[in-house]
Amino acid sequence: MTPHPSASLRHLRLGSWALAVGLLLGLVLEMLHGFKSGWYLDVGNETRRTMLMLAHTHGTLVALLHIVAGIVVRVCDRPVVSRFASAALIAGLLLPLGFLAGAFGVHGGDPGPGILLAPIGGVALLAGVVSLAVGLSRRS
Amino acid sequence: MQNTPIPPHRRPLAQRLRAWAWPITLMALAVFAQTLLTGWNRITPPAKEIPAGPVQNLAGGYATSATCRSCHPGQHASWHASYHRTMTQAARPDTVPESMNGLELTLGDRRYRVDRRADEFLVREGPVDGGTDSLGPPRRLVLLTGSHHQQNFWIETGQGNALEAFPFGWLIADRRWAPLTDTFLCPPGVTQGRSQGVWNNGCINCHSTQGRPGISADGIIDSQVAELGIACESCHGGGEEHVQRHRNPLRRYLSHLTGGGDDLIANPGRMSGPEASLACGQCHSVWAFQSAADAVRWNHEGRTFRPGDASLQERFVVQPAEDPGALAKAGQQMGDPHLVENSFWGDGRVRVTGREYNGVEASPCFKGGDFSCQSCHQMHRTDTRRDGLTAWAASQMQAGATGNQACLQCHGAFNDPAALTKHTRHAASSEGSSCYNCHMPYSSFGLMRAVRSHQVSVPDVRESAEWGRPNACNLCHLDRPLAWTAEHLKTWYGQTPPALGRDDHEIAASVKWILQGDAGQRALAAWSMGWAPAQSASGRHWISPFLANTLNDPYAAVRYVAWKALLTLPGFADYPFDYTAPDDETFAAATAAYQRSLDLRQRQIAPPAFNPATLLDKEGRFIEAPFQRLLDTRDQRAVYLIE
């Protein structure tokens, strides 16, 4: 377990920016609702709407996870986040990015090809969280 | 990793497992018992009980629209908004009219009462003069057909799942009940038009998806459907294999990238014109069985036609103009020669709505190859906004195809207003320059209204003189005789005028049709008198006496159409009339309406003059002799225009 000296700051910085983007996307979606945009709300665009909603929720939650990770690194008196966990959590951002990309190039009930990023991000996120849990479970 | 003693507060694994032993054992026993029960049920199925309504059966590779939705949400949305979907529905509180609960109606000497019990509706029937005790046992209302213009209802019979018609229909726009036989154009006095089993061997064919009548040789009826209503697989064929193949996302994305279709599913959008049209024509046609054996097989198994087929298989489209023997053969196979014959004008052109494929197939446009129903109609609207879908669902027209644009796709030369005017001899912006009005006039009838002929044709006086079909010109120029039209068609287009009698030179064509024509002609003439373009071309000042007189027509459907047209005239917007009322009441209403038309004219300071061809004197009264002569020579043959 080799704690990166700037791991905390990196996660906090990344998390904050990701949270800003996630919230901004939320505002955009609310605006699309407000103006009753057919591109977003029409029943035929259900897949796009689902992708954008998933991008917003997952993006916000992953951002909060990074902020939590950054705080954990800072408050723990021992190294709990490995390089692998740190990298995997960052790669986890591919999950919301995949949903966002999948909202474009929708074909019927199938999202656009960008959705391929989502499972990669999902696996990375899972690995990162498991790695973090393992790190926290270890006794110093 | 260093060895550490187990903390005292943590129990050993074995001890912890023991604590879960009982719950796990109980759960395992429950699962085992459930498995046994399920297996037993599979081995010994319960004795077959045929429920009151049709049973869902997905045999033959059907998957239902609910499965299609996940991959085709846009197409599903537009279909869901269409009246195809609701063509047959289970009778539930949200599908039947609000007035169904507690409904009491009488027909002849019978009384009917409908009561709601939980989510079911029960019909009881008895003598009209009896009390509540005299009503018979309750029977469930099982299905309803129709959802656009009118709804008809079907009651359980207890004979398999044979259904019997509830003898009243609901007219949606009018929000009123009417005797079922008064919701179709059929002769007065017909009471047994839609009796027991009609849904099972008739309506099921086109008002459900892959209906199987299930009528066995011993008369037991066990009707089954893949889905109620006209769902995705009516036009695309059974989708089970297509669904299975495309569960694999890689295959789906490969299909998206290559833009290729799937040979496991029919897609009328990728078919040739004739095949695509026949997907519609499997229902929207006058058809008959090829043979008695085909009829028997069909009555048990349902249709073998699948979208994409080049023919209707065990059935054929009746086209009397192409096959002079078709009518006789169809009449023989369908067991009702009059119904088939009534569906056509004398020259073999279809005259009843809902059978548009007959017209499309006989149109000159159809011979080219790509022309199909989809040249003007679209089954799936790309824009799925709710308000747009609602408007689109009324006729499912292509965007822009409600006007000349539909025809200009091929006849682009008439995009030029000068060329259009030269062709039509009417102002380019007028109704006389509408392709539809001249080449697809309102000469078909059904669902209590006139409908455009779907046989694209050239207006010709001969069609009226020889076969009685109102021609496009006189459906607008209602106040002109056929000879007037013949003269114009000769001058403008070089048509040779047919031999016309004296009346056709002196009496307006519409006046002849509404007084002397058969019930179908009278209905079309009355409808046209309420049609805004015709009123604009012919004036509205002379129409009311004729519509007033038609309120007393022997055919209920004709009375209804006349009343609706009358409501469009000044001074009649609120005219009350019950077209199903007894004869003495309709006579009184007709007399009062006639009197009102005279009074309205009398009040005018300078009333416009009448064209002599309208048979009205200067006060607006019928000129008695010719009026009575036309009535006396009316075509009294029984007419059934059942869509």
| B74 contacts on A by Cβ (under 8 Å) | 42-45, 108
What DSSP letter does each residue of B619-639 carry, written as one string?
TS-B-HHHHHHHHHT------
Q: How far apart are CA B505 and CA B508, in angstroms?
A: 8
Q: For A27-81, write each residue's pLDDT tens digit.
A: 999 999 898 888 898 888 899 999 999 999 999 999 999 999 999 988 887 888 8
Closest CA to B123 of B94, B83, B161, B164: B164
Q: How many CB atoms lie within 10 A of CB B449?
A: 18
Distances (CA, A) of A12 to A2, A18, A80, B210: 19, 10, 16, 60
- pLDDT tier at B466, thresholds 50, 70, 90: very high
Q: How far apart are CA B530 and CA B301, in angstroms?
A: 45
pLDDT in the model for residue A44: 82
Mutation for testing the B interface, residue in A40, A42, A51 having most B CBs under 10 Å: A42
Contacts of B373 (CB under 8 A, 6+ apart): B276, B277, B280, B281, B284, B356, B357, B360
- pLDDT tier at B208, thresholds 50, 70, 90: very high
Please give the structure tokens belonging to residue A6. Answer: 């700037």
Q: What is the mean pLDDT of residues B186-202?
A: 79
Average pLDDT over chain B, rounded to whole?
A: 91
Percent of chain B with pLDDT over 70: 92
Candidate from B73, B249, B253 with C-beta closest to A44 = B73
Candidate from A43, A44, A110 with C-beta closest to B253 = A110
| Angle ∠(B405,B476,B503) on CA atoms, nearest 5 | 145
Q: What is the CA radius of gyration of chain A?
A: 17
Q: How far apart are CA A99 and CA A92, in angstroms?
A: 12
Residue B253 has pLDDT above 70, yes or no: yes
Q: How far apart are CA B565 and CA B551, in angstroms?
A: 10
Q: Is B382 on the interface with A (CB under 8 A)?
A: yes
Q: How far apart are CA B85 and CA B79, in angstroms?
A: 7
Say if CB B145 and CB B151 are below 8 A apart: yes
Q: How far apart are CA B81 and CA B382, in angstroms?
A: 13
Find which of B46-50, B548-552, B605-609 is predicted with most confidence, using mean pLDDT: B548-552
Say if CB B550 and CB B588 are below 8 A apart: no
Q: Is B7 on the interface with A (CB under 8 A)?
A: no
Q: Is B628 on the interface with A (CB under 8 A)?
A: no
Amino acid A74 reads: R
Q: For B494-525, write each residue's pLDDT tens digit.
A: 999 999 999 999 999 999 999 999 999 999 99
Q: Is B384 on the interface with A (CB under 8 A)?
A: yes
Q: Is B71 on the interface with A (CB under 8 A)?
A: yes
Q: For B215-229, write each residue's pLDDT tens digit.
A: 988 888 999 999 999
pLDDT in the model for residue B405: 95
Mutation for testing the A interface, residue in B256, B378, B392 having most A CBs under 10 Å: B256
For A104-109, the CB contacts below 8 A with 24+ separation are A104/A48, A106/A45, A106/A47, A106/A48, A106/A51, A107/B256, A108/A47, A108/B71, A108/B72, A108/B73, A108/B74, A108/B75, A109/A46, A109/A47, A109/B69, A109/B70, A109/B71, A109/B72, A109/B73
Please give the structure tokens belonging to residue B472. Answer: 């496009």
Q: How far apart are CA B369 and CA B354, in angstroms?
A: 23
Candidate from B253, B256, B384 with C-beta closest to A43 = B384
Residue A102 has pLDDT above 60, yes or no: yes
Contacts of B420 (CB under 8 A, 6+ apart): B404, B414, B428, B433
Strands B224-225, B176-179: pairing is: unpaired
Task: Please name the residue that has the structure tokens 């799937």.
Answer: B262
> Which of B44-48, B254-258, B612-616 has the least mean pLDDT?
B44-48
pLDDT in the model for residue A5: 58
Q: CA of A56 to nearest chain B CA: how many angstroms apart?
A: 22
Residue B485 has pLDDT above 80, yes or no: yes
Phi, psi of B397 (to 5 degrees): -80, 150
In chain B, the residue whose alpha carbon lies closest to the alpha carbon of A138 is B1
pLDDT in the model for residue B1: 40
Q: CA of B70 to nearest chain A CA: how many angstroms apart?
A: 6
Residue B61 CA, chain-centre distance (Å), reads: 27
Q: CA of A139 to nearest chain B CA: how many angstroms apart?
A: 10
Q: Is B263 on the interface with A (CB under 8 A)?
A: no
Q: What is the CA radius of gyration of chain B?
A: 30
Task: Please identify among residues 96-135 of chain B the ones whose CB lies closer than 8 Å to any CB of chain A.
Answer: none
- pLDDT tier at B41, thresholds 50, 70, 90: very low
* Interchain contact, A45 vs B384, CB within 8 Å: yes
In chain B, the residue whose alpha carbon lies closest to the alpha carbon of A45 is B74
Distances (CA, A) of B504 to B142, B211, B374, B430, B620: 52, 49, 39, 27, 21
Closest CA to B114 of B205, B177, B159: B177
Please give the structure tokens belonging to residue B567. Answer: 């409501």
pLDDT in the model for residue B267: 95
Residue B17 has pLDDT above 90, yes or no: no
Residue B367 has pLDDT above 90, yes or no: no
Q: What is the mean pLDDT of residues B209-213?
A: 95
Say if CB B340 and CB B285 are below 8 A apart: no
Q: What is the mean pLDDT of residues B95-121?
A: 95
Per the model's pLDDT, the better-predicted residue between B120 and B13 turns out to be: B120
In chain B, the residue whose alpha carbon lies closest to the alpha carbon of A112 is B253
* Interchain contact, A44 vs B77, CB within 8 Å: yes
Q: What is the mean pLDDT of residues B50-78?
A: 87
Strands B103-107, B110-117: pairing is: antiparallel
The interface predicted TM-score of the complex, written ipTM, equals 0.72
Strands B55-56, B224-225: pairing is: parallel
pLDDT in the model for residue B260: 75
Candidate from B69, B70, B384 with C-beta closest to A42 = B384
Q: How many CB atoms lie within 10 A of CB B600?
A: 17
Residue B83 has pLDDT above 80, yes or no: yes
Closest CA to B572 of B589, B553, B586, B552: B589
Amino acid B348 reads: G
Greatest alpha-carbon span in chain B: 122
Strands B444-446, B110-117: pairing is: unpaired
- List the beta bridge partners of residue B165: B154
pLDDT in the model for residue B62: 95
3-state secondary structure of B385: coil
Residue B45 has pLDDT above 50, yes or no: no
* Interchain contact, A44 vs B252, CB within 8 Å: no
Q: What is the mean pLDDT of residues A105-125?
A: 95
Closest CA to B153 of B205, B112, B186, B111: B112
Residue B457 has pLDDT above 80, yes or no: yes
* Interchain contact, B73 vs A110, CB within 8 Å: no
Exposure string over B168-193, b if 16+ CB within 10 A, otherwise e: bbbbeeeeebbbbbbbbbbeeebeeb
